[in-house]
Chains A and B, each alone.
Chain A
Amino acid sequence: MVEKENYYLLLRSFDEDLDADNAEKLRDALNSSEELRAEQERILAIRNMISSRKVSFKPGFRDRVLNRISEEHHPQFIKPDFNQTFVNVFKKVALTGVAAIVILLLSIYYSSSRLGVDTIVGDPYSDESLVSYLLYENIDE
């Protein structure tokens, strides 16, 4: 069984300079413990396994990055984003709609000199409505 303190000294020794006392302690422990030496070799093997790992991006990485940069600098070449286009079109339609409503309200105001629910939606008891009502009532009979 490896002594815990020596084991932690061993772990630390890979990444930091131990002070003289701890360095000597670890040296003695390594000389006297075969198990600790085996542990040292195992950790070294793992570190080598990780540090020797070779990875890379798929071929053409440089060109892909440069293309993206070029798209940023020349936005006319960027394919339109559907959502963004939809939002832009919606904004235009909404603004036109609001403008139409405002013009309609103004024209109602100028033609009837007032702006109320009756002038906007129409008077349900106007003569015309009354005539139609009576006419339909007669037809039903």
Chain B
Amino acid sequence: MKDLLGLGDLELIELSRKGDDQAFGVIISRYEHQIARTVIGMLGDTEEAEDVGQETFIRFFRSLDKFRGDSALGTYLTRIAINLSLNELNKKKKTLSLFYKRGEDKLTMFDVPEPGDEFDRSDKKEIVDKALQQLDHGFRSVIVLRLLEGYSTKDTADILNLPLGTVLSRLSRAQEKLKEILIPLMQ
């Protein structure tokens, strides 16, 4: 195990392909925090986030043979994680739309919390978490990749398969929304 820790991603992948579970375990340990930032940023600290996190690595395991190393492993896994998170959010949205009247759910998207409500009791992590959850999925994904993961705007565009201009405009608008939500709570 100790020897495995010193190996590079491609070597670990090669060993995993040959059936070395410990090598795959090292890959999980190496990237679980990165994937946690992505899926918890997208879905909140929930059971779904854990499931999507697990599913990310399982999907990667199933497609080990397809990984050619064109992009860094972290980016490859992040792409899987963000797509699974967006699928999960869409599923949730469809379920919610069965219970809410048309348009009603949109009201909560950018609902700015009043100072004095439960936000006051939350710590910083929870405040940021709740603020992120109030962003529309498209805005949330660019914020998660750019600010939480620290990807460049170009990499963010590549991962989300969006034009760079769209990512830049979403970042500007998302920042504005986050400012609306967070500034009253920071004062």
Contact = CB atoms under 8 A, between A and B. Distances in A.
A64 interface: yes
B176 A69 contact: no
Contacts, number: 93
A47 to B, nearest CB: 6
Contact of B41 (A45, A49, A55): A55
A72 B148 CA distance: 32
B172 A11 contact: yes
Interface in A1-30: 8, 11-12, 14-16
A62 B25 contact: yes
Would you call the interface of chain A mostly helix, strand, loop, or mixed? helix
B109 interface: no
B24 A66 contact: yes
B153 to A, nearest CB: 5
Nearest to B165: A16
Contacts of B171: 11, 14-15
A49 B132 CA distance: 12
Interface string B21-63: 1001100110011001100110001000110011001100100
A55 B54 contact: no
Contacts of B41: 53, 55
B34 to A, nearest CB: 10
Contact of B50 (A45, A46, A54, A58): A58
B86 to A, nearest CB: 18
A23 to B, nearest CB: 16
Contacts of A51: 147-148, 150
Contacts of B21: 66, 69-70
B143 interface: yes
Contact of A62 (B28, B175, B176): B28
A11 B176 contact: yes
Given A15-B153, A62-B32, A49 B124 contact: yes
A49 to B, nearest CB: 6
7 contacts: A42-B179, A46-B179, A50-B148, A51-B148, A53-B129, A62-B32, A65-B57
Given A43-B175, A51-B150, A62-B32, 13 more contacts: A8-B172, A11-B175, A15-B146, A15-B172, A46-B182, A50-B147, A53-B41, A57-B32, A57-B50, A58-B50, A61-B32, A62-B29, A69-B57
